[in-house]
């Protein structure tokens, strides 16, 4: 089955509660990010929440990037 939609996957297929509880919003170098804490005690970037287009081109905060805990 193929579904064509502009809605994010999370709205159609909600994630589990335990995955949701690991996520939090942080401010990293002035860029708001949605991150998830992993087993290695790092944050993994899930989504960039900034409205500034230049933040999306900043390599260290792209989705999937690892940020050490402070």
Is the pTM value of this prediction over 0.75? no
- Higher pLDDT: 51 or 16? It is 51
Q: What is the pLDDT of residue 61?
A: 92
CA distance 18 to 15: 8
């Amino acid at each position: 089955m193929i579904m064509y939609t502009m809605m994010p996957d999370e709205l159609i297929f909600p994630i589990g509660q335990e995955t949701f509880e690991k996520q939090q919003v942080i401010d990293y170098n002035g860029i708001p990010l949605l991150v998830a804490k992993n087993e290695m005690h790092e944050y993994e970037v899930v989504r960039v929440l900034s409205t500034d287009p230049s933040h999306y081109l900043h390599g260290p905060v792209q989705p999937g990037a690892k940020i050490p805990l402070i």
